[in-house]
Structure 1
Amino acid sequence: MVKLLAPSILAGDWWNIGEQIEACIRGGADLIHFDVMDGHFVPNITVGPEILSHIRKRVSLPIDAHLMIENPDRYIPEFVKAGADWVSVHIENVPHIHRTLSFIRELGAKAGVVINPGTSLSAIEEALHYADYVLLMSVNPGFSGQRFIERSLERLVLLRDMRDRLNSDCLIEIDGGIKEENIASVVRAGADVVVVGSGIFASEDPEGQTRKLKELIFSATAV
């Protein structure tokens, strides 16, 4: 299975975010991760569909919208209309996950279910039948630059085994604290899509850093 790298622009320099996104694309990024927070479900406020629409006009890569907001069903159509190709919602925040995932797919986007570090993987077992991807959080959602929770490696392996047991073809995405020193480990543990924020944007050379991380992913896959 192809392994994908998704720079998370939450960690970017918003004065120069367009240039930084272009640098990541030149470095080989596969999609753009777009974090949406409302200050209620998580303790931070970020950006909405209007900003996404401006990025969409200039970027051909898929945009992965991670909705960390209350009542996401209300806003999903706006994000898809703005240009989101992937849309994910939290199992902790959606009472009717089958309905929501089906709704996202009906709108023409890939549907993802997200799970926080403190939530048992059993909570998403049924959702694997309906999701195009699962996003495993390896930090508590809300802020960029947090430290990777080491237990996440074991959770990745368990999630991969669950997917295989259910004969699901959903992708496994991981987000939070991924850097040069652990990106190979998460790929070997089962991640198909790796979200990297400060591990790219804290560098003075986002293009070169993106290229380096892609090489590390490739090397880990080839083992």
Structure 2
Amino acid sequence: MAPRKIIVAPSILACDFSRLGMEVERVTQAGADWIHCDVMDGHFVDNISFGPAFVEAASRHTPLPLDVHLMIEHPAHYLPRFLPLAGSITSHVEAIHDVSKTLAAVRTAGLLAGLAVSPPTPVELVKPFLGQFDILLIMTVNPGFGGQPFLDSMLEKVAEAASWRESGVFDFHIEVDGGINLKTAADAVRSGADLLVAGTSVFRAQDAAEEIRLLRNV
């Protein structure tokens, strides 16, 4: 099987919110593939980040797809507000009442549909939904806050998910989110990840373009 193209999605959770437009433009010009948006409600995770108005504001400063990650309870209820803004929407399997219906709603709108799993959740929980999602997001930190250290134990989940693609029957991105830098990105890619969410490592890099280039080529 040919190597998969690595997609780099800088997370605006790590940007300077007071300069949102400039920050999004900066990483767009630096060569980002997607822009990752972490939406948190203070219930599913112990933090509040931003909502659809903020995502819409970010969208005005880039032609790139917005990779919206809903770390919220009852994500299906909020889909109508995010569907017009995103290129992909990923919801946590732990928070969805009807997984198949939620994924179908995202796909019907013409977007990529994703499922996310938090560190305590067995990745096998999403296996019954193979073929219904386009992205499997494996959290490599406990969700809620940026800048946390990478959990090496999550690489086993990445490898397990990658094994599901080997038959060629199912095709989906394996996304890793949390603690991504050049070393951890290389470990994740070796395990099977092809979609890297990088926050601090890109937004605080002296040269964002070089950081993105290096991440893409780990």
- TM-score w.r.t. structure 1 length? 0.91
Which whole-Å deviations, capped at 9, do the CAs of 1:144-169 have from their partners, x for residues lacking one? 00010011122211110123357211
**Could you say which residue in structure 2 is the equivalent of 1:149?**
151
Shift of 1:208: 3.6
Query: Among residues 12, 15, 28, which one is paired with 1:9 in the alignment?
Result: 12
Which amino acid in structure 2 is aligned with residue 67 of structure 1? L
In structure 2, C-alpha distance between the alignment counterparts of 1:165 and 1:100, rounded to whole Å? 26
**Could you say which residue in structure 1 is the equivalent of 2:74?**
71
Query: Among residues 132, 137, 140, which one is paired with 2:139 in the alignment?
Result: 137
> For residues 121 and 165 of structure 1, do their structure 2 counterparts lie closer, same or farther at Cα, with a shift above 3 Å needed?
farther
Identity across the alignment (%): 39
More helix, by proportion: 1
Secondary structure at the counterpart of residue 60 of structure 2 = helix
**Could you say which residue in structure 1 is the equivalent of 2:29?**
26
Which amino acid in structure 2 is aligned with residue 136 of structure 1? I
Question: Is 1:20–1:206's contact at 8 Å kept on the other side of the alignment?
Answer: no
Which whole-Å deviations, capped at 9, do the CAs of 1:192-221 have from their partners, x for residues lacking one? 10000111122244344333323xxx2x4x
**Could you say which residue in structure 2 is the equivalent of 1:91?**
93
**Moved segments of 4+, more than 6 Å:** none
- TM-score w.r.t. structure 2 length? 0.93
Unpaired runs of 5+ in structure 1? none
**Could you say which residue in structure 2 is the equivalent of 1:100?**
102
Q: How many residues align?
A: 215
1:117-136 alignment, distance < 5 Å: 117-136=119-138
Secondary structure at the counterpart of residue 142 of structure 1 = coil
Which whole-Å deviations, capped at 9, do the CAs of 1:163-202 have from their partners, x for residues lacking one? 3357211111110101122211211111110000111122
Question: Is 1:5–1:30's contact at 8 Å kept on the other side of the alignment?
Answer: yes
Unpaired runs of 5+ in structure 2? none
